[in-house]
């Protein structure tokens, strides 16, 4: 087979769209911390020195202090929240959830119709595609060296992009890397040169992060801030909006994405919970040795608990025909919204951490918050691999 190329991108937590995602998920977490049965679906818009948080909400407690959450997220990311503190700078429009939608969800049904995809492959230990794994690692490293002070002139906004060369369907070499990083105009009392920015980012971000087996400093093309100076960034430079980075959130374009964004939605919205469950099933299929690539497809009707579609595509890599794999997945996994929320622990404040650096390929863990154990990234567990192997006769 001739070599082929595949490119994926990621962005830092300071990218304006990702700031919006984090604010929306901070709202979701604040609501669920007060009322695990609450529902919320909201979007955030940031532009210059103004913000708007709008959507639907249904909870038994007091609504969250949204301006305070905006301030908290901006501070944690590394921006000055004072830009949004002036009277009239922010608007909150959270209306009550529609009674018609609530009636369907109250009975255990899906909060919306739609199709969801989960994807896994054996290209990386986390079972996500190599290009998006590398792009996320670069974006995370940008934030890491900024926050640690290792690179004192870095600022929060940034993007990464990695182009992999494939042979025989396997990633073999990183062909091109793009890193765009917001920076101060001066450092230690002198202007920063583009050559200095390039050399330090390659030494501190690119070379320590990318896998040596695939990255060759002599052969890989590396672009650093290819447009030149990048001083003005974040929401002050470009509007941010919830849900505009869904390919960054998922599989970098290699696996398909369904009809809706994730951030800002509680788990009764199957746009989010169904996509998480589909990833859980796909990852367990690959972990069980049932396929080296697997895409799990789900679809729902609003107000109905059971999916109207469960299907597996193994892209010709399956140990069994796709129909058999689909039957095994349907036997092992309960894809009703209530079961997904129960099995993956999605009824609590577990979403803010998903809003930057991808929802998939992360490390599942348990944390204690206010005396409550919360499972983070539970859909990344491979705890059903043995059950799938048994169901499939592997």
Q: Catalytic residue numbers?
A: 15, 17-18, 43, 56, 159, 230, 238-239, 244-245, 265, 269, 271
Q: Which of 60, 234, 101, 104 is nearest to 158 (CA)?
A: 234
Q: How far apart are the first and last CA of the chain?
A: 30
Cα–Cα distance measured from residue 199 to residue 75, given in angstroms and rounded to the nearest whole number: 29
Find residue 159's DSSP bridge partners: 11, 180
Cα–Cα distance measured from residue 356 to residue 349, given in angstroms and rounded to the nearest whole number: 16
Sheet containing 39-47, strands listed edge to edge, beginning at the edge strand earlier in sequence = 90-96, 50-58, 39-47, 240-241
∠ CA 191-195-196, nearest 5°, is: 60
Cα–Cα distance measured from residue 13 to residue 81, given in angstroms and rounded to the nearest whole number: 15
Radius of gyration of the chain (CA): 22
Task: Specify the residue for token string 């595509």.
Answer: 313
Q: Which of 292, 324, 291 is nearest to 310 (CA)?
A: 324
Where helices occur in the chain by DSSP H, the ranges are 16-34, 66-77, 99-106, 130-148, 194-201, 207-209, 246-249, 270-287, 322-332, 337-344, 385-392
Cα–Cα distance measured from residue 364 to residue 343, given in angstroms and rounded to the nearest whole number: 13
Cα–Cα distance measured from residue 234 to residue 158, given in angstroms and rounded to the nearest whole number: 9
**DSSP-assigned letter for residue 165:** E
Cα–Cα distance measured from residue 112 to residue 105, given in angstroms and rounded to the nearest whole number: 9
Question: Strand 221-224 relative to strand 170-183: parallel, antiparallel, unpaired?
Answer: parallel
**DSSP-assigned letter for residue 302:** B
∠ CA 124-127-132, nearest 5°, is: 70
């Amino acid at each position: 087979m001739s070599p082929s190329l595949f490119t994926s991108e990621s962005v830092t937590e300071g990218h304006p769209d990702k700031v919006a995602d984090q604010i929306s998920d901070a709202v979701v977490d604040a609501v669920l911390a007060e009322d695990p049965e609450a529902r919320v679906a909201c979007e955030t818009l940031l532009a210059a020195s103004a913000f708007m948080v709008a959507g639907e909400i249904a909870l038994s407690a007091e609504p969250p202090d949204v301006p305070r959450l905006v301030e908290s997220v901006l501070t944690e990311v590394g921006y000055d929240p004072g830009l949004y503190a002036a009277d009239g700078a922010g608007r909150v429009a959270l209306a009550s959830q529609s009674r018609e939608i609530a009636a369907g969800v109250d009975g255990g049904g899906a909060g919306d119709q739609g199709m969801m995809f989960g994807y896994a492959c054996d290209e990386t230990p986390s079972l996500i595609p190599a290009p998006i794994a590398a792009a996320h690692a670069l974006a995370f490293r940008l934030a890491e060296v900024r926050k640690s002070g290792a690179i004192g002139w870095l600022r929060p906004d940034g993007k990464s992009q990695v182009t992999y060369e494939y042979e025989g369907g396997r990633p073999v070499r990183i062909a091109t890397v793009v890193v765009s990083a917001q920076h101060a105009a001066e450092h230690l009392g002198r202007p920063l040169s583009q050559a200095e920015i390039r050399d330090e980012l390659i030494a501190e971000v690119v070379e320590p992060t990318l896998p040596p087996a695939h990255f060759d400093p002599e052969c890989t093309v590396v672009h650093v801030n290819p447009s030149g100076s990048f001083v003005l960034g974040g929401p002050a430079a470009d509007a941010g909006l919830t849900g505009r980075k869904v390919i960054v959130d998922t599989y970098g374009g290699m696996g398909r994405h369904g009809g809706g964004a994730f951030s800002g939605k509680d788990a009764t919205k199957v746009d989010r919970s169904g996509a998480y469950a589909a990833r859980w099933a796909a990852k367990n299929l690959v972990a069980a040795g049932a396929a080296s690539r697997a895409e799990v497809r789900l679809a729902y009707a609003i107000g109905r608990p059971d999916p109207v579609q469960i299907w597996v595509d193994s892209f010709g890599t399956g140990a069994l025909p796709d129909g058999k794999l689909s039957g095994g997945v349907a036997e092992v996994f309960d894809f009703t919204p209530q079961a997904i929320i129960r099995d993956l622990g999605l009824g609590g404040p577990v979403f803010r951490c998903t809003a930057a650096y991808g929802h998939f390929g992360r490390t599942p863990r348990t944390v204690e918050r206010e005396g409550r154990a919360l499972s983070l990234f539970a859909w990344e567990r491979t705890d059903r691999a043995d059950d799938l192997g048994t169901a499939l006769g592997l």
